[in-house]
Amino acid sequence: MKNTRKKAIIVLEDGMVFEGSSFGAAGESCGEVVFNTSLTGYQEVLTDPSYKGQIVAMTYPLIGNYGVNPEDAESRKLFLEGFIVKENSRIYSNWRGKKSASEYLNENNIIGIEGVDTRALTRHIRIKGSMKTVISTEDFNIKSLLRKVKASRGLVGKDLVAGVTTAKTYNWNNSGKYKVVVVDCGVKRNILRELEKKDCKVTVVPAKTTAADILKLKPNGVFLSNGPGDPAAVPYVVAAVKELLGKLPIFGICLGHQILGLAFGGKTGKLKFGHHGGNHPVKDLETGRISITAQNHNFYVDIKSLKKSAVEITHLNLNDNTLEGMRHKKLPVYSIQFHPEAAPGPNDAKYLFEEFINNMKKKTKQE
């Protein structure tokens, strides 16, 4: 759809209205609105499968100034439901840039809205919480849009993983000392790149792959990826992980962390407005080290629901004291809520891939 820079409107579930101009595809879309605090990396945000079901508002006021390029895409397509910015740069200037953000949104049929007071929108979300929202470049009747957004389905209990996972098993690379099976709940490509850098041969499998089929691949370890939505809505992944516990080293990130929490017998819940962006402080309880981390999630694992006899808490979020990392006390299984692979975001936490490698190394020696 060609961009004609026409009027666009945003209507939140509670009746709050914001107006702007279209700079992406024309049309209408519903999703849960969230804000992202990253200063750069908008292409990685756009292509993160974890944003399936969500409309993303960027708090940084100028977006699009360095364009987009094929190398920085974190997945095969754009999965988010819409994109909101204060100002979309009319031009882009970067030696790696191949096209504009506006062209990128148009090609992928994603609505983009600019000219919005994103500071006011972010403050409203912080106070009221993330909520269902509709964005439109076609219908400007507020009562009509409000009916549509209230009739739409929220994130709780909705399986969004099915819409982002790979349709079939594939090999990311063809060599490596350690064979790793990645359960794709919406995996970012930089996670696969980091595993490859650590001398891993990576095989990616669909989210509904059973434990038996994973074991048939004879991996040295299993990685549980990030992904969108409610972890309680993907019981098939939780069931597979329960069967794998004690048989292989397991490492989970983001949704993978939440799935492990459920497999451990814990509970998950929904945050008021989630953690989205590249400036979240997390404390490593073992070393006392504080990392500035990249995050993207709306759900969390309830610390109080985990059995202290079985699970050790390793990381805490310093903004709200929510759980950011855990490790099984007897099994070679651990997980973190944030993104050590960054893309975008700081690289403070990349060292956390090492524990997974060491666990696989120990298992290999035992065999």
Catalytic residues: 254, 339, 341
CA angle 148, 149, 154 (to 5 degrees): 130
Which phi-psi region, left, alpha or beta, contains residue 27 (left: φ > 0; alpha: ψ -120 to 50)?
left
Q: Are 86 and 62 in contact (CB under 8 A)?
A: yes
State the Cα–Cα distance between residues 30 and 128, nearest whole angstrom: 18
Counted residue by residue, the chain has a size of 367
User: 249 is written with which tokens?
Assistant: 């080293």
Beta-bridge partner residues of 270:
299
Q: Are 23 and 112 in contact (CB under 8 A)?
A: yes
User: 345 is written with which tokens?
Assistant: 């975001």
228 preceded by a cis bond (ω within 30 of 0): no
From the list 320, 254, 250, the residue with the least C-alpha distance to 283 is 320
The helix or strand, by DSSP H or E, that contains position 113, with its residue range, turns out to be: strand 112-114
**Residues in contact with 89: Cβ distance below 8 Å, sequence separation at least 6, in sequence order:** 62, 63, 64, 65, 100, 101
Residue 98, number of CB atoms within 10 A of its CB: 13
User: 356 is written with which tokens?
Assistant: 């997974």
From the list 299, 245, 298, the residue with the least C-alpha distance to 269 is 299
Looking at this protein, which amino acid is placed at residue 82? Answer: G
Looking at this protein, which amino acid is placed at residue 46? Answer: L
Looking at this protein, which amino acid is placed at residue 66? Answer: Y
- DSSP label at 70? G
- DSSP label at 49? G
